[in-house]
Amino acid sequence: MTIRTVKTTPIEGQKPGTSGLRARTKKFMEPNFLENFVQSIFAGVGGVEGKTLTLGGDGRYFNKRAIQTIMKMAAANGAARIVVGRDGILSTPAASAVIRARKTDGGVILSASHNPGGETGDFGIKYNIPAGGPAPEGITDAIYANTLQISDYRILDAPDVDLSADGESVLGDMVVEVIDPVAIYADLMRSLFDFDAIRDLFASGFRMRFDAMHAVTGPYATAIIEGELGAPKGAVVNAIPLPDFGGGHPDPNPVYAKALMDEMFGADAPDFGAASDGDGDRNMVIGRNCYVTPSDSLAVLAANAHLAPGYAAGLAGVARSMPTSRAADRVAAKLGIGSYETPTGWKFFGTLLDAGKATLCGEESAGTGSNHVREKDGLWAVLLWLNILARRRQSVAEIMSAHWAEYGRDYYSRHDYEGVDKAAAEGLMDHLRNQLASLPGQTVEGMTVTAADDFAYTDPVDGSKASKQGVRVTFGDDARLVFRLSGTGTVGATLRVYMERFEADPAKQSEETQAAIAPVIRAAAALAGIRTRLGRDGPDVMT
């Protein structure tokens, strides 16, 4: 086996976004594209000589090939050990759990999360720090800087490593340790939740459906929900991970998980429904005839987390991304704990979790998690819901009604305009920013603007700053409107418009969501000029 130093030149389009580097799969398959970025990761973290890394991905197309390349590059760069999931598979939260449990020096995770897979789909790669969370901007900036000046990369000439069975082998001077991708994660879940209570729930005739969307969570959900908790065989559907996710879009929302929605709102629906995404870090929760928004889910989990053994001592605080509704803030206020509003991107929760300021975190984009790992965790959220249902013995709809009666209801929806012209979308955002100073005091669709800004954040732990994180227009406690360009797409731009309206009166909390927020929808159209500037009559996706 010999180490080759391969000459290369910088390649455009390698600036990491909020969740690492994402691009079309075929772009990653082009000569040197993956290799340049991996070598830049190694350089950006100060080298990997003598270090142990965790490695795995969500199983999408090109995952196996990329895993072999990364291992050979790690060996050539002096890494001492790679801990890799069997067949190169690790869900994103499981990878975080492995980094933390095995105390590795960080990890490389291959995923484009909820984006479509396959040869014509998307691929992604990111580096996670030793705490288990996504790399902060200081590291991603260093990685990007190296992509702009890279001149060569190092790789070991060696046969591929067999990753089909657990155990150790040697690649050059580096040890490759293949592990069960489920084992460490399942151990962690047992320490957090009352599995006996959940088993009793299923034994009572409780029925659920978990849609793994042919993505990475299938083996985890099958092993835990069916294997350990006693749910009947078939409770987990679409459980076999496929490189193209079965041709579907592995995003757990009412649009892309339509089959599950239809079942949960159909005749003889199960008691509880849930879904997870491509890499296992997102979730959707549904009761019989009751869809739970991710914002409401975070609030309900915060209010009831004490029912699970791992959180029985109470929460230190709750953190949410800025576009997420203010429902969790109301719970935190009643519990007398801290509440934090951060930019979008799970990495912003890391310092709060590490400092013990927050225990639960969540994003409106279906990501929820806690201090057990440093990533959002789809199956964790589902298990916490099951723990709550097992203890309260109420339906999802009953739990939601009781929660709204106590805390008020934040009607909430996100409208996505996908694949729009990037220049036009940026022009729309500039148009909004130019109005900010003059908006307070104005009345729009019968609502008076009380505040308007472009969200900026100063981390309360390390003092780091982030600016231009989304335009906010607030109408007192009654309503709020947020505009933001997404950083997770690979083609064009995606404009996300977030709308919420608060209703304190339980007698008025049963209105259909889009009807309830209709004035906020009209205000968004009036302020942004979406139809004129983007040429769109309506959103592509409403969640």
Q: Is 325 a catalytic residue?
A: no
Looking at the fold, whether 211 and 177 belong to one and the same domain comes out as no
* Structure confidence at residue 17 (pLDDT): 84
Residue 268 has pLDDT above 90, yes or no: yes
Residue 486 has pLDDT above 90, yes or no: no
The conformation of residue 231, written as its DSSP 8-state character, comes to P
> Among residues 377, 407, 437, which one ends one of the domains?
407
pLDDT in tens, 272-281: 999 999 999 9
Same domain as 452, residue 329: no
Kindly state whether residues 286 and 194 are assigned to the same domain. yes
pTM of the model: 0.94
- pLDDT at res. 498: 97
Residue 345 near residue 134 (C-beta atoms within 8 A): yes
pLDDT tier at 519, thresholds 50, 70, 90: very high
For position 488, what pLDDT does the model report? 54
Q: In the chain, what percentage of residues exceed pLDDT 70?
A: 99
240 and 387 within one domain: yes
CATH number at residue 480: 3.30.310.50
Read off the pLDDT band of 542 (50, 70, 90).
confident
Q: What is the H or E stretch that residue 223 is in?
A: none
Q: Is 31 exposed, middle or buried (0-12, 13-18, 19+ CB in 10 A)?
A: exposed
Averaged pLDDT of the chain: 96
Q: Is 245 found in the same domain as 330?
A: yes
Domain end residue (candidates: 181, 215, 242): 181
Task: Give the pLDDT confidence score for residue 491 in this predicted structure.
Answer: 63
pLDDT of residue 18: 76
As for how many domains the chain has, the answer is 3
Choosing from 19, 91, 96, 113, the catalytic residue is 113
Sorting pLDDT into bands at 50, 70 and 90, what band is 543? confident
The pLDDT tens digits for 222-237 are: 999 999 999 999 999 9
Residue with tokens 């490189």: 243
Range of 448's domain? 410-542
- Distance in angstroms (rounded) separating the CA atoms of residues 98 and 329: 31
**In the structure, what pLDDT confidence band is assigned to residue 490 with cuts at 50, 70 and 90?**
low
- Whether 303 and 387 map to the same domain: the answer is yes
The CATH number for 93's domain is 3.40.120.10
pLDDT of residue 80: 98
Same domain (yes/no): 476, 374: no
What letters, b where the CB count within 10 A reaches 16 and e where it falls short, cover 323-339? bbbbbbbbbbeebebbb
**Whether residue 189 is found in the same domain as residue 128:** no
pLDDT at residue 477 tops 90: no
Question: Residue 487 pLDDT > 90, yes or no?
Answer: no
Looking at the fold, whether 277 and 156 belong to one and the same domain comes out as no
Residues 378 and 490 in one domain: no
Pair 158, 11 in one domain: yes
Whether residues 385 and 361 share a domain: the answer is yes
The pLDDT of residue 67 is above 90: yes
Where does a domain end: 181, 198, 232? 181
